[in-house]
């Protein structure tokens, strides 16, 4: 369990390195230490507040690196696209290697198996279109959008136009082949760390210590897919999908499957909270101030 938690923390370093690459168009001299600290604080906010906490990280990084918030929202958007592609790859491997013959697969996972291939095709196509558009037409898109705002007062046009330009600048790393290569590399490093962490954690329990690398890829792919998609009649959540995969795909009894799924969630998500609290305190931030940041941005 200890190596599993340590490997998860290494994935946050990969995230920070990737974000630093995406910061280059607006700040080529950004601080990796500050980005890493704000990344840990940001993921602590996600654990505490749910998905709205995602917005805390770009806000803190924009403040610490003295860059426009809109440019960091663009970096966050790009990060979500690359992570989604990684999740789809893992889930695709899981679908390709899973054989349902002789398994008592319940309705929730039957739905996943039936719709997964279509989902992967549509989402991969959408992600690739987004990346190509960002790489080739970011500035052109901004010009077109600014032209469409001609009916607004000039002051409002200028304000919205500036935000759009900052957002386009945040996407500029897509147009640099060297930067894109580094982003892909750090994304692979991040998800390789998460995969390794899942292997360590699952092998900590007698019911799952015989799982192979491929089995763990199947587990991580399904769990990652389940965390972003609401399964009809079941909902989302890594713990719930983890339980379903362990009990229905790997025939782990209900009680240990529940405990293992919760342990995986604790080791891969909750482990960041102590680090986030300490770093937030060093910056003079509190739980209340993080919640206030999240509310201000979402409003």
Tokens representing 160 are 């919205």
Q: Return the pLDDT at 230.
A: 44
User: 25-55 in b/e burial notation, b at 16+ Cβ within 10 A?
Assistant: bbbeebbeebbbbbbbbbbbbbebbeeebbb
* pLDDT per position as a tens digit, 96-131: 766 666 566 666 666 666 666 666 767 777 777 766
Q: What is the pLDDT of residue 103?
A: 60
Question: Torsion over CA of 91, 97, 101 and 106, rounded to 10 degrees?
Answer: -20
Asked if residues 85 and 127 have their Cβ atoms less than 8 Å apart, the reply is yes
**Mean pLDDT for the chain overall:** 79
Backbone dihedral region for residue 233 (phi beyond 0: left; psi -120 to 50: alpha; all else: beta): left
Q: How far apart are CA 95 and CA 102, in angstroms?
A: 16
Give the number of residues written for the chain: 299
d(CA 12, CA 18): 10
CA distance 82 to 88: 10
The DSSP line for 39-73 is HHHHHHHHHHH-GGGGGHHHHHHHHHTT--HHHHH
Domain extent listing, the chain: 2-30+65-268
Is residue 6 pLDDT above 90, yes or no? no
The whole-number average pLDDT for the span 238-245 is: 82
Q: How far is CA 289 from CA 56, 174, 298, in A?
A: 10, 33, 14
| 265 CB-contact burial (10 Å; exposed 0-12 / middle 13-18 / buried 19+) | buried
Q: Which of 18-32, 81-95, 177-191 has the lowest mean pLDDT?
A: 81-95
Mean pLDDT throughout 10-38? 93
Query: Can you give the pLDDT at residue 38?
Result: 94
Most confident of 92-106, 239-253, 254-268: 254-268
CA angle (294 as vertex; 291, 297 as ends), nearest 5: 150
Report phi then psi at 229, rounded to 5.
Answer: -125, 135
The pTM of this model reads: 0.80
């Amino acid at each position: 369990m200890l190596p599993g938690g340590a490997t998860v923390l290494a994935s946050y370093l990969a995230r920070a390195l990737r974000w630093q690459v995406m910061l280059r168009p607006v700040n080529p001299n950004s601080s990796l230490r500050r980005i890493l600290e704000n990344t840990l604080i940001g993921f602590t906010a996600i654990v505490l507040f749910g998905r709205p906490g995602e917005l805390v990280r770009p806000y803190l990084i924009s403040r610490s690196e003295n860059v426009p918030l809109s440019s960091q929202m663009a970096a966050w958007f790009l990060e979500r696209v690359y992570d989604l592609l990684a999740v789809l790859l893992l889930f695709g491997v899981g679908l390709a290697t899973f054989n349902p013959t002789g398994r008592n697969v319940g309705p929730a996972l039957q739905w996943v198996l039936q719709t997964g291939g279509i989902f992967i095709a549509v989402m991969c196509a959408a992600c690739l279109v987004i990346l190509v558009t960002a790489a080739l037409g970011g500035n052109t898109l901004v010009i077109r959008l600014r032209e469409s705002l001609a009916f607004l007062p000039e002051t409002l046009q200028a304000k919205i136009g500036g935000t759009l330009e900052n957002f386009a600048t945040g996407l500029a790393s897509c147009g640099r082949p060297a930067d894109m290569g580094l982003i892909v590399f750090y994304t692979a490093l991040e998800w390789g760390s998460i995969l390794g962490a899942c292997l360590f954690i699952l092998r900590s329990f007698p019911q799952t210590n015989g799982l192979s690398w491929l089995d763990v890829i199947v587990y991580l792919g399904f769990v990652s897919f389940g965390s972003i998609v609401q399964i009809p009649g079941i909902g989302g959540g890594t713990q719930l999908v983890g339980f379903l995969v362990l009990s229905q795909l790997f025939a782990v009894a209900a009680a240990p499957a529940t405990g293992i799924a919760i342990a995986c969630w604790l080791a891969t998500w909750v482990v960041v909270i102590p680090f986030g609290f300490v770093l937030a305190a060093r910056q003079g931030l509190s739980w209340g101030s993080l919640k206030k940041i999240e509310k201000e941005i979402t409003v």
